[in-house]
A and B are shown apart, each in its own frame.
Chain A
Amino acid sequence: MRETSLSRQLIAGVLLAELICAALFSAVAIGHEMHGRRRAFDVMLRGRADSLLGAVQDAEDPEDNVTVDPTELVLPLQDVYEVVSPSGRVLGQTSAASAALLAALSSSHSPGYFDFKVKGAYYRAVRFDGVRIVDREEKGGYRRPVTVLYGSPTRDLWHEAVEAVRFYVLSGALLLAITGVALVWFLRRRLSPLQELAIIAGRVSTRCWEFVPTGSVLRTAELAPIALSIEELLKGLRQSFERQRQLTGDASHELKTSIAVLKSSLQLLAMSPRTTEQYEYGLESLLMDTERMEGLANRMLTLARLEEAPMEQGETSELQSAVRIVAERLLPLAELKQVRLDVSGEESGKVAMQADDAEVLCSNLIMNALQHSPPQGCVTITVDSRDAVTELRIVDRGEGIPEVALPHVFDRFYRADRSRSRNSGGAGLGLSICKAIVDRSNGTVRIQSTVGIGTQVTVTLPQSKTA
């Protein structure tokens, strides 16, 4: 893709507009100038022809003719003229002019201006019928009608026109250059906040999240919203990036610690000769460590699967039956901890959730409640169905969750009391898995807890329409 520059395009656009403007102006000015010059030329032609008429006088000959006496006239040498009497007799003509030129001049038969061309030279001429009164002193003079033809080469006219055009074009170009430079400078200056924004935004990377828009950017009405939303976006991105990094760090900590346990156990066992009992004990511990690591890997993979893979369509399960299965399975543990499991609720509708996931969800939640219940305590599990919604409530009377920890309980690897939970085998993934399962079914999970009184977990799931 070709890169386009906004400021360059703007400058080019404005310069082009200026150029067109200058060209149009020059064209109009040239047109006007040409028209004026032609008129002036015509007036000049007529003036010279008139003065030629003035040179018509009595020929002082027996036929009482008139003639043209050009001796007192100062006419340009290259001009050509002819004065003809009504009878067609030539009274006078340019002596130096060629026959072809004179023939071309006299070819016109109507009064007025006309153009002609002789031997590659352009001429403009005028023909008019005038009356010359000669011998005014004697008997009031004689009226002598004559026809005057007067022509002049237009070479000078064109030459002057070209000069004028050159002047207009040159001054136009100069103006264009001056305003162009001023414009570039002005646009650059005005567009500098845009460039600043681009530079600041270009510096942002996953290593450097610094994005502080300058004052000139924030003062620009068009840029301020962009800058502010970039800032907001980056803040969010940075947070999620750091969460991700924290998560990777936590996961690697858990895994590496598990591996460290296995490795150190093996090295300790191999460090010096042991008795058979010591070896047996060591192997048993190693097996337990391996199982714990297996559990951790399983939970991490479950979470990854829940978050990555899309939900299979049409999978439904019944929450009530999942609760019953899990409660039955956890009964021995409950008895061991002397905690009563109180399951109630009628047949619920089906929810869009895989049966395995429903069991994992119930198992994690009930297990949590059991682990935090004091002896002789009670865990109440209720499944309610109403308004196309199934609600699962698990209430314990345990020690509760501190208020500072509540917002984080669904975070992966988060443990409110880490030393305790580590001994109970958790890695802080149970509730994250629950949340992922519920999220996949478009449900919600809420935890309310008061320290010293107990905790209530409420899972709300929409009932499946396909069931």
Chain B
Amino acid sequence: MRVLVVEDEVRLANNIAEALRERCGFAVDCAENGADGAALTEFQHYDLLLLDLMLPGLDGLGIVRQVRRRKDMTPILILTARDERSQVVELLNAGADDYLTKPFDLGELLARAKALIRRGKGASHPVLTAGRISVNTVEQTVRCAGQLIDLSPTEYRLFEYLIFRPRAIVSARELLEHLYDYNWQHHSNVIEAHISNLRKKLRSVGEETSIATIRGRGYRLEAPEKQL
């Protein structure tokens, strides 16, 4: 998952980014002002936008309006130091999904971020299943019929992204865009290597659910339909 943090207080942005990377395994980009933030949202690489309300240039509300005008459904969490009712109402009405007032609890921020991403992808429970496989997005673990599969952080992130969209073709480019931040050099063969490792680990526990390669288009998580 990839998150954009737009916050002019650099130290705060770094803390949030660090926590999201460390605890949730998300890729995080930071923007220091509204204009840069709005420009980054246009790529639609993000699974969550975390916006400060008071920003130099374009404010959080302005970004929310821009994003929603494009029919971009990316979940938006607003950080605000002002908890005036009217402003909160205006924000939510403009299309923001949730808000947190500063100073917030970092744990709560992470939980809300995960919940919003989950909801944005159509899942309400933090445990996702496909066939005999279940992914616990809170613990960041993957189990096959109760048996823990030992995955590397990148493998977990890949699998988590795929299980949110079972049977859909996900291109290597999309995976790159949603799993790595801008500091990463984009090489699609990295994805290929991780997918191959994932397949091996799934097979080792005897799971028939597999990740198919669709030539020239991407990858697909094959799962028995009735069990989804």
Q: Which residues of A contact B (CB under 8 A)?
A: 249, 252-254, 256-257, 259-265, 267-268, 271-272, 285, 289, 415, 417-419, 422-423
Cβ of B12 under 8 Å from chain A: yes
Chain B proximity of A405: nearest CB distance (Å): 12
Per the 8 Å Cβ criterion, residues 8-34 of B in contact with A are 8-12, 15-16, 18-19, 22-23, 32-33
With known contacts A253-B54, A271-B19, A261–B11 Cβ distance under 8 A: yes
Q: Which residues of A contact B81 (CB under 8 A)?
A: 252-254, 256-257, 260
Contact: B105 with A256, CB < 8 Å?
A: no
Shortest Cβ gap from B83 to chain A (Å) = 9
Other-chain contact of A419, B8, B16, B18, B106 (Cβ < 8 Å): B8
* A264 cross-chain contacts in B, Cβ below 8 A: 12, 15-16, 19, 103-104, 106
Contact with A along B53-90 (1 / 0, CB 8 A): 01111000000000000000000000101101000000
Contact across chains for A263 and B103 when beta carbons are under 8 A apart: yes
A415 proximity list for chain B (CB < 8 A): 56
Instruction: Report Cα–Cα, A422/B8, bound state, in Å.
Output: 8
In the assembly, what is the distance between CA of A252 and CA of B87, in Å? 15
**Given the known A-B contacts A260-B102, A267-B107, are A272 and B22 also in contact in the complex, defined by CB atoms under 8 Å?**
yes
In the bound complex, CA of A257 to CA of B11 (Å): 10
> B: which residues have CB within 8 A of A?
8-12, 15-16, 18-19, 22-23, 32-33, 54-57, 79, 81-82, 84, 101-107
**Chain A residues, CB < 8 A from B55:** 418
A254 CB, min distance to chain B CBs, angstroms: 8
Q: Is the CB of A419 within 8 A of B9?
A: no
Q: Check if A289 sits within 8 Å of B10, measured CB to CB.
A: no
Whether A271 pairs with B106 at a CB distance below 8 angstroms is yes
Q: How far in angstroms is the closest Cβ of chain A from B56?
A: 3
A-B contact pairs, 11 of them (CB 8 A): A249-B84, A256-B101, A257-B102, A260-B79, A265-B15, A267-B106, A268-B106, A272-B22, A418-B33, A419-B32, A422-B8
- Nearest CB of chain B from residue A269's CB, rounded to whole Å: 9
Contact A257 B9 (CB under 8 A): yes
Closest residue to B101 on the A side, CB-wise?
Answer: A256
Given A249-B84, A260-B104, A267-B107, 8 extra CB contacts under 8 A = A253-B82, A260-B12, A263-B105, A264-B19, A264-B104, A418-B8, A418-B55, A422-B56
Q: 4 tightest CB-CB pairs across the interface, nearest first?
A: A418-B56, A267-B106, A260-B103, A256-B81
Chain A hits for B103, CB < 8 A: 256, 259-260, 262-264
Provide the residues of chain A in CB contact with B12, threshold 8 Å: 257, 260-261, 264
**Shortest distance between the CB of A466 and any CB in chain B (Å):** 46
Pick from B15, B102, B105, B106: contact of A259, CB below 8 A: B102
Residues of chain A within 8 A of B56, CB atoms compared: 415, 417-419, 422
B128 to chain A, nearest CB (A): 24
Q: Is A423 a contact partner of B11 (Cβ separation < 8 A)?
A: no
How far, in whole Å, are A249 and B33 apart by their CA atoms in the complex? 19
Give the Cβ gap from B28 to chain A, nearest Cβ, in Å: 13
Asked if B32 and A268 sit within 8 Å, CB to CB, the answer is no
Q: How far is the CB of A370 from chain B (nearest CB, A)?
A: 22
Give bound CA distance, A407 to B84, whole Å. 28
* A419 touching B33, Cβ below 8 Å: yes
**Across the interface, which residues of B come within 8 angstroms of A252, CB to CB?**
81-82
How distant is A416 from chain B, measured CB to nearest CB, in Å? 10
Nearest B-chain residue to A253, judged by Cβ: B81
In the assembled complex, which residues on chain A have CB atoms less than 8 Å from the CB atom of B18? 268
A419-B82 contact given A257-B12, A260-B103, CB 8 Å threshold: no
With both beta carbons as reference points, the residue of chain B lying nearest to A422 in the complex is identified as: B8
Chain A contacts for B9, CB-based, 8 A: 257, 260-261, 422
